[in-house]
């Protein structure tokens, strides 16, 4: 009797602790977003979205930085999605499970933990200098693609692993080849999870400033990039640059730019959730 | 109907203005790549912004990789102009020589460092450089913790120190000027890359003391008390005049731009640099820095023109 009571009490304590832990994060987020909204919401206007960088905080806008961010997002997706998914499929389904695949696995997990600025140095030496691409959009996107590849690979593998083996066995039993099984059964079933992983990884990429500064992304660009070889800036660099200015007006601009960046990432997370639900509904076994 | 004639007249004037502009063959095109110090960035940004109004087809781009990062790119010929908050170092000169890059150095403005305390602090009238050194040098860590250890008549209260992060050029510059060695100081102070945090810190702490760029003080004059610094010739407050004429030492430094000689042959780069020197007095003031003396700008202009004419030989 007494033991049951103690266990119940432990249960209660744990659930309260869990609740507090959940709220710590949530409250911090609310405070942070509230603070940013108070500072920056009044500054957001069409002029701010379409404006060019300026020394005058009231005239300065984020157009070129936003255009750069959208370009980077687009190119990074284009590069990282096929490579990451293909690598994930290979490691999970095709690669021999031996010592080499173990080493590969450990290395990929380690890569996910490498500080982003290291990727910036790699991008500068290899893409910008060795490949002679300069501080272009392509260099930046390739660097960010490298940065998020480990995350995409891990997400792909997890999603594929989650597909019941009975489905695969049934496919093989009907005489399907490995590729047919992958293409018609495993990939559609795991696509929701893969896309969620990719989009969350991209949300991380769109918030990076450090590796892009190293690669040579700029702070002042008076034009929107027109090709992947153009110089560029991105929103996080613009925000970083504004925060370090003494005039109060720039701090407000930074808050407003943070709101735009937040909306962009929320939008992407929303798409991720939608895709996941969409694909889950489609699967009927 | 009545309005037609004035409207036509206005249209004529407008169109003729436009015609004149395009008829001038001074409209150039091209790209000018600039990178380097984030301290110099606001000045270069202001110049580029104004330059765009005059030469809309010249695309000026500016990066903020820091003075050192900027010189690394400059030394490989990747940029046309490098922003710098200190003169070029020997290792950077070597890199330029290695890649056969010649350049010219021009000073464009001054940056002053301010030493600040809380407005309620009524005991400090000035600091000597030795006092600042005693307070900030590495040996002071854990030892010099009270105001009366700096000067005996000051209160027996803890001193709370605030300063820019160790990665900033401002920190390098302060430690070099005060401690004598760049990047060497005590470690037990509140450091922040965001100077606004330092402003808040000192403004909210009666026993606080810190340093940062003069521009931040000018934005927060009501919250802070600025302290005169005695560099050997009596206490001097940092003002436009004292920084300009060099009497506020050692906490004022010139800001530079470096121009690659290959880029210097291009008309659009020459036009940009001329525009820079013409407008630096007003624009550097506007973004919180201090202009050079007019004669100094004149000297820089002559230096640049002779550099250009040598390039054309």
Question: Tens digits of per-residue pLDDT, B285-296?
Answer: 988 899 999 999
Contacts 24+ apart (CB under 8 A), B136-140: B136/B161, B136/B174, B136/B175, B136/B178, B136/B179, B136/B185, B136/B186, B137/B179, B137/B184, B137/B185, B137/B186, B138/B179, B138/B184, B138/B185, B138/B186, B138/B187, B139/B186, B140/B186
Query: From the CA of A112, how many Å to the nearest CA of chain B?
Result: 25
> Is the Cα dihedral A128, A242, B72, B52 positive or negative?
positive
How many Cβ atoms are within 10 Å of A51's Cβ, its own excluded? 17
Q: Give the pairing of strands B103-117 and B252-260.
A: antiparallel
Query: From the CA of B75, how many Å to the nearest CA of chain A?
Result: 13
With an 8 Å Cβ cutoff, is B193 touching chain A? yes
> What Cα–Cα distance (Å) separates residue A38 from each residue in A44, A257, B143?
11, 13, 43
Q: A interface mutation test: which of B35, B49, B53, B282 has the most A CBs within 10 A?
A: B49
Rounded CA separation B267/B308 (Å): 10
Query: From the CA of B16, how many Å to the nearest CA of chain A?
Result: 28
Rounded CA separation B109/B284 (Å): 6
Rounded CA separation B218/B109 (Å): 17
What pLDDT score was predicted for residue A79? 95
What pLDDT score was predicted for residue B15? 44
Residue B248's φ and ψ, nearest 5 degrees, are -85, 85
Compute the average pLDDT of residues B91-95.
Answer: 94
Determine the length of chain B: 313
Check whether residue A219 and residue A164 sit in a common domain. yes
What pLDDT score was predicted for residue B93? 95
What pLDDT score was predicted for residue B182? 84
Q: pLDDT grade, residue B23 (50/70/90)?
A: very low
Q: Give the predicted TM-score (pTM) of the model.
A: 0.81
Rounded CA separation A176/B171 (Å): 67
Contacts of A245 (CB under 8 A, 6+ apart): A57, A251, B42
Q: Decide if B127 contacts B227 (C-beta within 8 A).
A: yes
Shortest CA distance to B59 belongs to which of B69, B70, B48?
B48
Q: Decide if B252 contacts B6 (C-beta within 8 A).
A: no
What pLDDT score was predicted for residue B19? 40
User: Which of A213, A218, A243 has the CB atom closest to B61's CB atom?
Assistant: A218
Compute the average pLDDT of residues B246-257.
Answer: 90
Rounded CA separation B262/B103 (Å): 8
Domain CATH for A260: 1.10.3720.10
What pLDDT score was predicted for residue B8? 44
What pLDDT score was predicted for residue B244? 87
Rounded CA separation B74/B260 (Å): 8
A12-26, A201-215, B21-35, B226-240: least confident range: B21-35
With an 8 Å Cβ cutoff, is A217 touching chain B? yes
Looking at every residue in chain B, the average pLDDT score rounds to: 87
In chain A, how many domains are there?
A: 2
Compute the average pLDDT of residues B109-129.
Answer: 93
CATH superfamily membership of B29-111+254-312: Periplasmic binding protein-like II (3.40.190.10)
Q: Is A136 helix (H, G, I), strand (E, B) or coil?
A: strand
Rounded CA separation A272/A248 (Å): 36
Residues of A in contact with B49 (CB under 8 A): 52-55, 222
> What Cα–Cα distance (Å) separates residue A184 from each residue in A79, A95, A149, A181, A187?
24, 20, 24, 6, 7
Asked whether residue A152 carries a pLDDT value surpassing 70, the answer given is yes
Compute the average pLDDT of residues B217-231.
Answer: 90
Residues of A in contact with B59 (CB under 8 A): 222-223
Compute the average pLDDT of residues B155-170.
Answer: 86
> What Cα–Cα distance (Å) separates residue A51 from each residue in A61, A129, A171, B106, B191?
4, 32, 56, 31, 34
Three-class HEC string of chain B: CCCHHHHHHHHHHHHHHHHHHHHCCCCCCEEEEEEECCCCHHHHHHHHHHHHHHCCCEEEEECCCHHHHHHHHHCCCCCCEEEECCCCCHHHHHHHHHCCCCEEEEEEEEEEEEEEECCCCCCCCEEEHHHHHHHHCHHHCCCCCEHHHHCCCCCCCECEEEEECCCCHHHHHHHHHHCCCCCCCCCCCEEECCHHHHHHHHHCCCCEEEEEEHHHHHHCCCCCEEEEEECCCCEECCCHHHHHCCCCCCCEEEEEEEEEHHHHCCHHHHHHHHHHHHHHHHHHHHCCCECCCHHHHHHHHHHHHHHHHHHHC
Check whether residue A18 and residue A151 sit in a common domain. no
β-partners of residue A195 are none
Asked whether residue A284 carries a pLDDT value surpassing 70, the answer given is no
Compute the average pLDDT of residues A167-185.
Answer: 91
Check whether residue A278 and residue A264 sit in a common domain. yes
What pLDDT score was predicted for residue B249? 85
Q: Decide if B210 contacts B164 (C-beta within 8 A).
A: no
Query: From the CA of A141, how many Å to the nearest CA of chain B?
Result: 17
**Token digits of residue B236:** 């001097």
> What Cα–Cα distance (Å) separates residue B261 from each residue in A81, B62, B94, B177?
44, 18, 16, 31
Determine the length of chain A: 285
Contacts of B201 (CB under 8 A, 6+ apart): B160, B162, B190, B192, B208, B210
Check whether residue A16 and residue A57 sit in a common domain. no
Question: Tens digits of per-residue pLDDT, A253-275?
Answer: 999 999 999 998 888 888 888 88
Asked whether residue A3 carries a pLDDT value surpassing 80, the answer given is yes
Fold entry, domain B112-252: D-Maltodextrin-Binding Protein; domain 2 (3.40.190)
| Residue A10 or residue A101, greater confidence | A10
Query: Are A54 and B65 within 8 A, CB to CB?
Result: no
Query: Are A220 and B73 within 8 A, CB to CB?
Result: no
Check whether residue A58 and residue A15 sit in a common domain. no
Map out the domains of chain B as residue ranges: 29-111+254-312, 112-252
Q: pLDDT grade, residue A285 (50/70/90)?
A: low
| Residue A181 or residue B13, greater confidence | A181
Say if residue A278 is preceded by a cis peptide, omega within 30 of 0.
no
Q: A interface mutation test: which of B65, B74, B193, B289 has the most A CBs within 10 A?
A: B65
Rounded CA separation B111/B243 (Å): 8
Query: What DSSP state is assigned to residue A51?
Result: P
Q: Domain of residue A100: give its range.
A: 46-282
With an 8 Å Cβ cutoff, is B216 touching chain A? yes
Compute the average pLDDT of residues B39-43.
Answer: 91
Residues of A in contact with B218 (CB under 8 A): 246
| Residue A279 or residue B158, greater confidence | B158
Asked whether residue B248 carries a pLDDT value surpassing 80, the answer given is yes
Locate the chain A residue with the closest alpha carbon to B199. Answer: A246
With an 8 Å Cβ cutoff, is B45 touching chain A? yes
Looking at every residue in chain A, the average pLDDT score rounds to: 90
Shortest CA distance to A137 belongs to which of A232, A203, A213, A212?
A232
Query: Are A246 and B45 within 8 A, CB to CB?
Result: no
Query: What DSSP state is assigned to residue A42?
Result: G
Residues of B in contact with A217 (CB under 8 A): 63
| Residue A42 or residue B167, greater confidence | A42
Compute the average pLDDT of residues B29-36.
Answer: 92
């Amino acid at each position: 009797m007494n033991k049951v009571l103690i266990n119940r009490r432990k249960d209660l304590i744990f659930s309260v602790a869990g609740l507090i832990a959940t709220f710590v994060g949530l409250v911090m987020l609310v405070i942070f977003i509230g603070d940013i909204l108070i500072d920056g919401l009044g500054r957001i206007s069409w002029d701010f979205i379409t404006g060019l960088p300026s020394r005058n905080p009231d005239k300065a806008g984020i157009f070129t930085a936003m255009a750069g961010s959208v370009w980077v997002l687009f190119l990074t997706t284009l590069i990282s999605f096929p490579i990451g998914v293909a690598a994930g499929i290979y490691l999970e389904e095709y690669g021999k499970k031996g010592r080499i695949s173990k080493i590969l696995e450990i290395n990929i997990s380690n890569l996910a933990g490498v500080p982003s600025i290291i990727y910036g140095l790699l991008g500068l030496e290899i893409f910008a200098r060795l490949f002679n691409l300069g501080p272009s959009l392509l260099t930046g996107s390739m660097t960010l693609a490298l940065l998020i590849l480990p995350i995409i690979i891990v997400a792909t593998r997890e999603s594929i692993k989650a597909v019941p083996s009975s489905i695969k066995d049934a496919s093989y039993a009907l005489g399907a080849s490995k590729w047919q099984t992958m293409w018609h059964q495993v990939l559609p079933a795991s696509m929701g999870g893969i896309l969620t992983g990719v989009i969350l990884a991209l949300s991380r990429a769109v918030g990076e400033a450090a590796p892009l500064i190293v690669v040579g992304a700029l702070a002042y660009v008076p034009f929107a990039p027109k090709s992947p070889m153009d110089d560029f800036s991105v929103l996080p660099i613009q925000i970083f640059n504004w925060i370090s200015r003494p005039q109060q007006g720039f701090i407000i601009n930074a808050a407003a730019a943070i709101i735009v960046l937040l909306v962009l990432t929320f939008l992407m997370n929303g798409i991720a959730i939608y895709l996941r639900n969409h694909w889950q509904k489609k699967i009927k076994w | 109907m009545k309005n037609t004639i004035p409207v036509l007249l206005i249209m004529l004037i407008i169109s003729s203005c436009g015609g004149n502009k395009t008829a001038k063959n001074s409209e150039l095109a091209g790209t000018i790549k600039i990178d380097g110090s984030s301290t110099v960035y606001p000045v270069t940004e202001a110049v580029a912004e104004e330059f765009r109004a005059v030469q809309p087809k010249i695309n000026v781009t500016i990066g903020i990789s820091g003075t050192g990062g900027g010189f690394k790119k400059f030394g490989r010929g990747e940029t046309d102009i490098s922003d710098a908050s200190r003169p070029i170092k020997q290792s950077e000169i070597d890199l330029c020589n290695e890649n056969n890059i010649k350049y010219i150095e021009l000073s464009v403005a001054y940056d002053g460092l301010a030493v600040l305390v809380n407005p309620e602090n009524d005991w400090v009238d000035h600091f000597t450089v030795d006092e600042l050194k005693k307070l900030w040098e590495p040996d002071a860590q854990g030892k010099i913790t009270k105001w009366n250890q700096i000067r005996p008549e000051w209160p027996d209260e803890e001193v709370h120190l605030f300063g820019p992060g160790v990665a900033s050029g401002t920190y390098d510059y302060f430690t070099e000027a005060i401690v004598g060695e760049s990047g060497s100081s005590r470690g037990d102070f509140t450091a922040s890359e965001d100077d606004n945090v330092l402003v808040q810190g000192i403004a909210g702490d009666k026993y606080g003391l810190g340093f940062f760029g003069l521009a931040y003080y000018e934005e927060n004059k009501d919250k802070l008390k600025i302290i005169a610094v005695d560099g050997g010739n009596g206490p001097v407050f940092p003002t436009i005049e004292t920084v300009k004429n060099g009497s506020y030492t050692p906490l004022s430094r010139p800001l530079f731009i470096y121009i690659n000689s290959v880029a210097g042959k291009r008309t659009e780069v020459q036009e940009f640099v001329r525009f820079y020197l013409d407008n630096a007095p007003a624009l550097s003031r506007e973004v919180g820095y201090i202009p050079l003396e007019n004669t100094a700008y004149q000297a820089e202009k002559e230096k640049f023109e002779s550099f250009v004419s040598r390039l054309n030989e």
